[in-house]
Structure 1
Amino acid sequence: MFQESSAAAPEITDLEPRHDESRRQFINHAGRGLLAVGVAGALPLAAAKAAAPDAALPPATGPLDIKLPPLEADTDPKGADPFNPDAPERRVGYALVGLGHLTLNEILPAFGQCKHAKAVALVSGDPEKMRKVAQQYGIKPSSCYSYQTYDQLKDNPEVEVIYIVLPNSMHHEFTLRGAKAGKHILCEKPMANTAKECEEMIAACKKAGKKLMIAYRIQYEPLNRAAMKLVRDKTYGATKLLQMVNCQNQAHDQQWRHKKALAGGGALPDIGLYCLNTTRFLLGEEPTEVSAQIYSTPSDARFKEVEENVTFTLRFPSGVISQCTTGYGTFNSKAYTVHAETGSIKMDPAFPYHGLRQERVHAPNGKQLKETPNDPMKNQFALEMDHMAECVRQNKTPYTPGEEGLQDQRIMEAIYQSARENKPVKLPAVAKLDAFRGEAPTDEEA
């Protein structure tokens, strides 16, 4: 039991900061008085008084950004700045459509690292699972919808963006319905199963006056963006060759990715798309020719409808050649290397959700140097959702709009054609750099 000391404690008159006094000044000032108190129990009392909220504290005005002085010396790596999210009422509300692995394991948790976005509604075909998820994330029962009642999102003013996380074949339908409901659309990749479906999705959103963004998270991730800037700035001279690999071993569970009607294809649109899109992102150019080969193990039940392995080569106007390999039946490998005149940039791993690593090798003054920059460890889903939210608030075109997804779909169709015909396929020339991209994410977002 706590007992008061019989010794008289010195009087402390400055236990709360004055309005014109910073926290650091207050701590320094109060600390001198606390040192004189000793161990008579005044420290817990002082801490409690200092932590007590001021009932008369007026709401903050203007931006909520908070700045703190650095804790590190100039010679040490700098810590992160304060998180500084928007107030909840200012964040853009998202409806999540589909409650599979990606939504539950990555997207919903990522809202905890969002500054401008929040989850406010769910859409699922499994009401019991949706009920549990809604309770976990504090989403109102009235903001939970089935695929049949999806169109009622139009009556929910909290929802500004619909994030479609469904099998590929369903992206088209739910984008069209979402645009008709008057909501902006963030759609997972691949955008759709055919170029025609992509064109219709773009047209529907334009007709509704709503934004359409494709979730190419790699284009928002800091290490990949740093690689892109090194390539574009020709830091190691002109890029000559790229090697891209994205392979994994799929479970033998007859998942929807093994059904052509749902997936549109196999390894190519699911994971090979990262090789294609990242090549285009790094260079800013569009390929003028593709050549490809496809092979599936005949005895493997997973690949009765969709392809197992695809290798394809992209040729670009600048002369760059990108060799890409993707597969559904091999040990996990997700990496790429940029080979330039005086150096190389390697990302290994390059495409997972977490744990990315970059290595740069070059030889200034004839001495080879190897650099491994720190991974900022930004959540890729939070970055892309915050970018979409900023585009909604500031009326900007997303960096990866529907046109970006359409271009990938057209190139993938040419890759399939090349493999069928066993010969290269020419593509329309595109002179402009970043021809299908919108406004780049801000430094804060990246």
Structure 2
Amino acid sequence: MTQLSTFSRRQFLAGVGASALTLPSLTDAFGNPLPTAQPGRKLGIALVGLGSYSKNQLAPALQQTKNCRLAGIVTGTPAKAEEWMKKYDIPKANVYDYKTFDRIADNKDIDVVYVVLPNSMHREYVVRAAQAGKHVICEKPMAIMPQECQEMIDACKKANKQLAVGYRLHYEPFTQEAMRLGQQKVFGPIKFVESSDGFRIGDPGQWRMKKALAGGGPLMDVGIYAVQGARYVTGEEPISVTAQFGPKTEPQKFKDVEETLFWQFQFPSGAVSNSTTSYTAGVERLYASCQDGWFELSPAFGYGPLKGRTSKGPIEKPIVNHQAMHMDGVCEVLLQNKTLPDHITGAEGMRDVKLLQAIYQAAETGRKIDLKA
């Protein structure tokens, strides 16, 4: 996102504005009408990993989508497979485990593979999905290290398949409005951004608390939302970062990953941002102080409903299903045989992963990290 490059007006309208929402009368952040469902068949999506996000968000959302449908599942738990087959009328031929996954190449009923696995497993299954001849959606963060991201991008390019990352908020009306307000300088140039996301985590035995699987703690989970928020309201790439680990108030629980992390970005325009992510306390806010006013979203990053206001009054936008909008938007582009906009692809995913690793480097060394290179 060198000054507005990732979220330029042209790309924004081509990508975010192209998403098919639940109501055809809705408009995107620039007031353009949103298209309805594409004519013809829906693309079949197979969910890889049937954890809480697939169960509680993606599968229900796929019952509301216009351009795609739940066609298959990949799970290592036979009981889950039986449950999902019955609940969603999934044929046995479209059910795979991790050993039989590559046979998905022969299944013409499945067009897109959605990887919803622990972060450390994203690279393997994105590469295997591409090699099987399927388009891919990968949950964020895209991977743990930038090199993994590049391997994923290269595999999809070699297979002539497209790779999207699960940036659902790019299709969400309140977020689109925050992008517009910031990037179009509606209240003048942005001076300061607060972008933070955290919650109190439950089960200490879950994969998110294991560095080998997650790559880190809250930064590698909800922290990416805070990174994204600062980037998409400014429309700029940060040029430097400083960061600090918070204290470990529960050292036994957080022996493998960080508990809280703070970081500060500087942007080319002179804007600065301050962010917090945590597994020990709740915070969910995106606030921008501008030369002539301010705007904020709070809640800003959850599954909704989001809320917003500005120095001139409340932000009024429709409440929609984020996941349905995201998957419909991606699949609409695929159905039209067009190229996915940069801001939701692997290129954007790799930008974030580079920043996540730079934040860790800054916190570990106590130095300001130059991001201009």
TM-score bucket (shorter structure)? 0.7 to 0.9
> Which residue does 2:268 correspond to in 1?
317
Question: 1:230, 1:236 within 8 Å by CA — same for their partners in 2?
Answer: yes
Give 1:172's aligned amino acid. R
Question: 1:183, 1:210 within 8 Å by CA — same for their partners in 2?
Answer: yes
Q: Distance in 1 between matches of 2:187 and 2:351?
A: 28
Asked if 1:339 is matched to 2:289, the reply is: yes
Displacement of 1:375: 3.4
Residue deviations 1:369-416 (CA, integer Å, cap 9, x gap):
4x2133311111011101110121122224411011111111111111
> Which residue does 2:362 correspond to in 1?
418
> Which residue does 2:325 correspond to in 1?
383
Give the length in aligned residue pairs: 342
Question: 1:356, 1:375 within 8 Å by CA — same for their partners in 2?
Answer: no
> Which residue does 1:188 correspond to in 2?
139
> Which residue does 1:360 correspond to in 2?
310
Asked if 1:393 is matched to 2:335, the reply is: yes
Displacement of 1:112: 2.1
> Which residue does 1:348 correspond to in 2?
298
Displacement of 1:180: 0.3
Displacement of 1:144: 0.5
> Which residue does 2:353 correspond to in 1?
409
Residue in structure 2 matching 1:153, options 86, 92, 104: 104
Give 2:364's aligned amino acid. R
Residue in structure 2 matching 1:113, options 41, 50, 64: 64
Cα 1:119–1:348, aligned 2, differ >3 Å: closer, same or farther?
same
Percent identity between the aligned chains?
38
> Which residue does 1:25 correspond to in 2?
none
Question: 1:219, 1:278 within 8 Å by CA — same for their partners in 2?
Answer: no
Structure 2: unaligned runs, 5 residues or longer: 1-22, 26-32
Give 1:138's aligned amino acid. D
Q: Distance in 2 between matches of 1:424 and 1:221?
A: 33
> Which residue does 1:33 correspond to in 2?
none
Residue deviations 1:221-240 (CA, integer Å, cap 9, x gap):
11010111111111111111
Q: Which runs of at least 4 in structure 1 moved beyond 4 Å after TM superposition?
A: 81-87
Q: Distance in 1 between matches of 2:203 and 2:112?
A: 35
Q: Distance in 2 between matches of 1:260 and 1:124?
A: 22
- Equivalent residue of 1:135, what SS? helix
Give 2:370's aligned amino acid. K
Question: 1:187, 1:212 within 8 Å by CA — same for their partners in 2?
Answer: yes
Cα 1:221–1:82, aligned 2, differ >3 Å: closer, same or farther?
closer
Q: Distance in 2 between matches of 1:134 and 1:384?
A: 24
Question: 1:312, 1:324 within 8 Å by CA — same for their partners in 2?
Answer: yes
Q: Distance in 1 between matches of 2:329 and 2:250?
A: 44
Asked if 1:101 is matched to 2:44, the reply is: no
Question: 2:194, 2:230 within 8 Å by CA — same for their partners in 1?
Answer: no
Cα 1:139–1:219, aligned 2, differ >3 Å: closer, same or farther?
same
Question: 2:178, 2:233 within 8 Å by CA — same for their partners in 1?
Answer: yes
- Could you say which structure has the greater relative contact order, defined with CA pairs below 8 angstroms and 6 or more residues apart? 2
Give 2:92's aligned amino acid. P
Please tell me whether Structure 1 or Structure 2 has the larger radius of gyration of its CA atoms: 1
> Which residue does 1:72 correspond to in 2?
none
Structure 1: unaligned runs, 5 residues or longer: 1-66, 70-80, 362-368, 430-446
TM norm structure 2: 0.88
Residue in structure 2 matching 1:210, options 161, 166, 173: 161
- Equivalent residue of 2:56, what SS? helix
Question: 1:219, 1:281 within 8 Å by CA — same for their partners in 2?
Answer: no
Displacement of 1:161: 0.7
